[in-house]
Amino acid sequence: MSVSLVVLSIAQRPADAVIGGTSALGNTAVVRLINGTSSCSGALWTNRVVVTAAHCVVTTTGEVTTRPMSIYQPGVNTQQSPQTVSQSAIVTVDGWRKRGEYSQPDDIAFVVLSSELAGGSISRLATTNEVSAWSREGRLVTLLGYGRTTPTSTASPVPNSIDQPLSLSGGWPGSFTATQTSTTGICSGDSGGPVITRVGTEVVLIGINSAASGPCSPSIRPSMTGFMPSAYPDLVKRVLDLTNVTTLPVVTTGIAQGISTTSAILTATAVGNNLLTTTSFTYGVQPDLSGASVTVEAAQVTGSTATAIDAAIVNLVPGTTYYYRANASNLAGSVSGTISQFTTLGGAPIVTSGEANTVSSDAAVLTGTVNANTVATQAFFQYSRMPDFSTLDGGMVAGDLVGNETTSLSATITQLEPGVTYYWRIGGTNAAGTTVGETRSFSTPVFAPNTSKSTNALLTVLLIDRTEVTQTLVAPVAKSRNQCNFNTKTKRLLFGRPGTCRVKITTIRAGVTTTNAYNLMVKQP
């Protein structure tokens, strides 16, 4: 079979040994496999699983062997370490068999060991996304094997390694490539050997060697081809199930922190169980997280210990209860934690309608209180001739509020019609909602000609507060002398012919003098 992965003058033959590398004695990521008279290398992923090339575990007829193989302890000199174990199972792509001398798709096998090989150093498998990114950047990775150290030598009793850059692969699904040279790279006996890199303190298995051209197989463009275990999640799960290893991640939803009016930090812990595990949070306003729930990505975790994860969520509605859970996913599957909840701070405004006062025939002063409930709030008044406010006569903004203090507000409404009952209320609106206060009412007064009102009666009609008032002065303006005048002896305001009586009323309250002008409508009943 010819190779389609890279352009070569000579097709890649099965990978052989590290040439031009250095000794990797003691590197516990690599093991040696003996299958009859054939020698290969492998990657000790867990203490019960070796990953290798599928062509390393077949018979002379190309079928996966059922006879015992020998697997040496990791990183040892095989001439000085006779201790080996054999396989209890071999897992490959269903129906895989070796066809011809050259590389082919799905050349990967998982060897389940009959007993443990302790001391392996591989932390986890690289994800396919990681390998793609590293290939684009040409990441320098380490290739290991027990193969030849010269094109004509026999297999090495000790492992050797060489660092080569990953390169872009245009071949089979699950494959990757790395650059070689005509004098350095892998050779006979390195088939199945690990390709590893470090991520922080982790030793990450990218994949295994499958085939190569270069020092042992001349080429215009020397290269090696490998396969990624993470590209075969079904095989990974089957293998780990055979070893009774818990592979599904474990995730525990935590308590929301840093809760504000519009944001919060969701927390959890997750255990990757030695597989790179992606975590996330799902949140929404439905207790079962149905409907328009949102999922935000969190951290990636590995290893077998619980790792704290968190994610900040923003643009929340104040005073609203949110439900959330943590999720985790790896090659073995996906799990979710229990659903928890939190409530953002603040809420809709708290409002109370006050009283209407200083009501004249065409104007009134409305009052009330508003508490912003920690959310930026706009307060307003509405008034209407309809008790249900189905049609508004008008409204006005009373102020913009913040914080959690109760604020007294007032507003003067004008251009009212005399002799009409108006209904009114105060309201407030913010990001959490809109609240309106109780409905109040007042009637604009109309005075009949040839009638009068005492000072106290006039204050009552006009809804002027008389608390602590020590003196009241009533004085019509000069232009209204035909419509009204004030009798200083009787202290009564006398209404004359129809029209507008504009009167100034001065009150003295606790030593403070206040003067306001009022338009009073005089007309025939």
Per-residue H/E/C for 342-408: EECCCCCCEEEEEEEECCCCCCEEEEEEEECCCCCEEEEEEEECCCCCCCCCEEEEEEEECCCCEEE
Q: What residues contact 438, with CB distance under 8 A and at least 6 apart?
A: 352, 353, 425
Mean pLDDT of the chain: 91
CATH 2.60.40.10 fits 250-343, yes or no: yes
Domain 350-443: assigned CATH number: 2.60.40.10
Q: What pLDDT, on the 0 to 100 scale, is given for residue 201? A: 86
Q: Do domains 13-241 and 350-443 have the same CATH topology?
A: no
Local confidence band at 145 (pLDDT 50, 70, 90 cut-offs): very high
Fold for the domain defined by 13-241: Thrombin, subunit H (2.40.10)
pTM score, whole prediction:
0.61
Q: What is the pLDDT of residues 403-420, one digit of tens each?
A: 999 999 999 999 999 999
- Residue that wins the pLDDT comparison between 426 and 189: 426
Q: What pLDDT, on the 0 to 100 scale, is given for residue 83? A: 77
17 pLDDT higher than 60: no
Q: What pLDDT, on the 0 to 100 scale, is given for residue 292? A: 82
**Domain limits of the chain?**
13-241, 250-343, 350-443, 446-522
CB-based contact 33:209 (threshold 8 Å):
no
Q: What pLDDT, on the 0 to 100 scale, is given for residue 170? A: 66
Mean pLDDT of 184-190: 88
Helix H or strand E encompassing 195: strand 194-199
For 224-228, 308-312, 331-335, which range has the lowest pLDDT when averaged over its residues?
331-335
Domain 446-522 top-level CATH class: mainly beta
